[in-house]
């Protein structure tokens, strides 16, 4: 069954709502839950579902992603037949260019489906956190005689403008599709960005695009055109855990939810393992004076202070007297003696000086430059930034990558909502 299905993972997004976290890497390559990357969940779902031919479509800042996936060994995708292939846009004689949208990315890689003799194409997003066996959806697609099946789940009405929303008839057939509707009266059945296409129909509909009627994007162009053409499009209802971690708020909350006594997602179950390219590091080490509660610690961490409800990536060092609370600290960060982090996300290789206090003040003061992205009290520090000793940094602050002492005001006080 699975060998005729080829998966294509869309992993080219810039993820601008994640601010500085996706400045130097594609969103699917952003670290998650300590030792993982966001794309690990989709790759693991493919392998666990028996799908071993996978194309990863990259575009924006692909180096980190390419390095992470490599030849696919951690996911058992280093195979002579099938396996994983990174598909990047290129300039060709036929005028190929940068992908203009999700559907255009697939259109430029139809030959990958043809080379692998796929009769079904499973199209996935590389930036969602979930565990899903794709086999029942593929079976449902076949049973319905569908041209396209879209995985759907209900979302809160106030979030419907972030998704493609659809209406279905009593047979589960999709009769209306609205891409990120501004009105709240279209229902709340949202597309999860998981599609099963019959390959011949996919090629046909994508090939019908023109300057006047583009087929660049699935939600804006392809699905509405297929509904209009009378194609058989069905909704497959998914009832498991699924999160789009596309915003700072959802990224922070989804990470910290894993610290609960009964987390919504088990990262370590034997029957559905989440695989990743793991770094060879010693086990985490806690000093006698260290205190850690409700937290995830990756290999190589050394904790000599207090860590509460936080996620520490590989190689993080927490000095004596330091307090890290409700925070996400990525690989190889150094938190100095007596420093405090409260509701903070730090990227890799950040240094927080001795006695610095990060995340104090009013949550209600949104970031001046990005009020729509940083408004929940979370302060974000970019890669390799250096926070001076004794600095005081407020809430909803953004410290850009590579900043050092000379970038801070003389008194080292950064008010709520400021950007360095």
Q: Residue 212: pLDDT above 90? A: no
Averaged pLDDT, 181-202 = 92
How far, CA to CA in Å, does 146 sit from each of 102, 143, 226, 289, 308?
21, 8, 12, 61, 49
SS in 3 state form for the chain? Answer: CHHHEEEEEECCCCCHHHHHHHCCCCHHHCEECCCEECHHHHHHHHHHCCCCEEEEECCCCCHHHHHHHCCCHHHCCCCCCCEEEEECCCCCCCCCCCCCCHHHHHHCCHHHHHHCCCCEEEEEECCEEECCCCHHHHHHHHHHCCCEEEEEEECCHHHHHHCEEEEECCCCEEEEEEECCCCCCCCCEEEEEEEEEEHHHHHHHHHCCCCCCCCCCHHHHHHHHHHHCCCCEEEEECCCCEEECCCHHHHHHHHHHCCCCCCCCCCCCCCCCCCCCCCCCCCCEECCCCEEECCEECCCCEECCEEECCEECCCCEECCCCEEECCEECCCCEECCCCEEECEEECCCCEECCCCEECCCCCCCCCCCCCCCCCCCCEEECCCCEECCCCEECCCCEECCCCCHHHCCCCCEECCCCEC
More confident residue, 183 or 259: 259
Ranges 43-52, 124-133, 177-186, 208-217: which has the least confidence: 208-217
Local confidence band at 90 (pLDDT 50, 70, 90 cut-offs):
low
Give the pLDDT confidence of 93-114 residue by residue, as tens digits: 455 566 777 888 898 899 999 9
CA dihedral 295, 296, 302, 308 (to 10 degrees): -10
Mean pLDDT value across the chain = 91
Local confidence band at 3 (pLDDT 50, 70, 90 cut-offs):
very low
Residue 74: count of CB within 10 angstroms of its CB: 18
| pLDDT at residue 395, as a whole number | 97
Give the pLDDT confidence of 355-390 residue by residue, as tens digits: 999 999 989 999 999 999 999 999 999 999 999 999
**Which residue, among 270, 265, 272, has the nearest Cα to 296 in the 3D structure?**
265
Averaged pLDDT, 244-263 = 93
| pLDDT at residue 387, as a whole number | 98
> CATH for 285-414, among 3.40.50.300, 1.10.3470.10, 2.60.120.620, 2.160.10.10?
2.160.10.10
| pLDDT at residue 26, as a whole number | 84
Q: Residue 197: pLDDT above 90? A: yes
> CATH for 2-257, among 3.40.50.150, 3.90.550.10, 3.40.50.620, 3.90.76.10?
3.90.550.10
Give the pLDDT confidence of 66-86 residue by residue, as tens digits: 899 988 999 999 988 889 998
Measure the CA angle with vertex 197, ends 7 and 203; round to 5°. Answer: 95
How far, CA to CA in Å, does 274 sit from each of 203, 262, 280, 406?
32, 18, 17, 42
Q: For the chain, what are the domain ranges?
A: 2-257, 285-414
| 61 conformational bin, left if phi > 0, alpha if psi -120 to 50, beta if neither | left
CB environment 171-207: b (16+ within 10 A), e (fewer):
ebebeebbbeeeeeebbbbbbbbbbbbbbebbbebbe
| pLDDT at residue 135, as a whole number | 97
| pLDDT at residue 96, as a whole number | 52
pTM, two decimals, is: 0.93
Q: Residue 1: pLDDT above 90? A: no
Scan for tokens 């194309």, then name that residue. 55
CA 77 distance to own-chain centroid: 21
What pairs with residue 234 in β-bridges? 149, 173
State the Cα–Cα distance between residues 220 and 238, nearest whole angstrom: 22
Local confidence band at 159 (pLDDT 50, 70, 90 cut-offs):
confident
Give the pLDDT confidence of 295-335 residue by residue, as tens digits: 999 999 999 999 999 999 999 999 999 999 999 999 999 99
State the Cα–Cα distance between residues 8 and 43, nearest whole angstrom: 10
267: Cα within 13 Å, side-chain hemisphere: 21
Give the pLDDT confidence of 29-55 residue by residue, as tens digits: 999 999 999 999 999 999 999 999 999
Q: Tell me what percent of the residues of the chain surpass a pLDDT of 70.
A: 96
């Amino acid at each position: 069954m699975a060998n005729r299905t080829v998966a294509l993972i869309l992993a080219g997004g810039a993820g601008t709502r994640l601010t500085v976290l996706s400045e130097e890497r594609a969103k699917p390559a952003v670290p998650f839950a300590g030792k993982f990357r966001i794309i690990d969940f989709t790759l693991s779902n493919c392998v666990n579902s028996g799908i071993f031919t996978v194309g990863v479509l990259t575009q924006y800042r692909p180096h980190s992603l390419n390095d992470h996936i490599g030849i696919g060994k951690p996911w058992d995708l280093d195979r002579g037949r099938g396996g994983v292939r990174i598909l990047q846009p290129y300039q060709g004689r036929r005028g190929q260019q940068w992908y203009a949208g999700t559907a255009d990315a697939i259109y430029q890689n139809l030959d990958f489906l043809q080379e692998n003799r796929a009769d079904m194409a499973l199209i996935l997003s590389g930036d969602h956190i979930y565990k899903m066996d794709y086999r029942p959806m593929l079976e449902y697609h076949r049973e319905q005689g569908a041209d396209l099946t879209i995985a759907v789940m209900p979302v809160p009405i106030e979030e419907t403008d972030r998704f493609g929303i659809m209406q279905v008839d009593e047979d589960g057939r999709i009769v209306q599709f609205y891409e990120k509707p501004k009105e709240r009266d279209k229902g709340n059945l949202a597309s999860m960005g998981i599609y099963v296409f019959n390959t011949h129909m996919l090629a046909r509909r994508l090939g019908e695009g023109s300057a006047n009627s583009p087929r660049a994007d699935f939600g804006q162009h392809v699905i509405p055109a297929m509904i209009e053409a009378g194609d058989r499009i069905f909704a497959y209802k998914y009832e498991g855990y699924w999160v789009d971690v596309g915003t700072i708020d959802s990224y922070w909350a989804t990470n910290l939810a894993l610290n609960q006594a009964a987390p919504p997602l088990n990262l370590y179950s034997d029957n559905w393992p989440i695989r990743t390219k793991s770094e060879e590091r010693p086990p985490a080490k806690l000093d006698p004076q260290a205190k850690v509660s409700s937290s995830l610690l990756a290999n190589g961490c050394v904790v000599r202070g207090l860590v509460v409800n936080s996620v520490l990536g590989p190689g993080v060092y927490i000095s004596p007297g330091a307090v890290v609370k409700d925070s996400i600290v990525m690989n190889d960060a150094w938190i100095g003696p007596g420093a405090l982090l409260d509701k903070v996300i730090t990227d890799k290789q950040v240094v927080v000086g001795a006695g610095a206090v990060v995340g104090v003040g009013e949550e209600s003061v949104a970031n001046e430059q990005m009020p729509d992205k940083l408004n929940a009290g979370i302060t974000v520090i970019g890669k390799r930034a250096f926070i001076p000793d004794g600095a005081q940094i407020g809430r909803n602050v953004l410290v850009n990558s590579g900043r050092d002492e000379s970038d801070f005001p003389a008194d080292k006080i950064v008010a709520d909502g400021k950007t360095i």
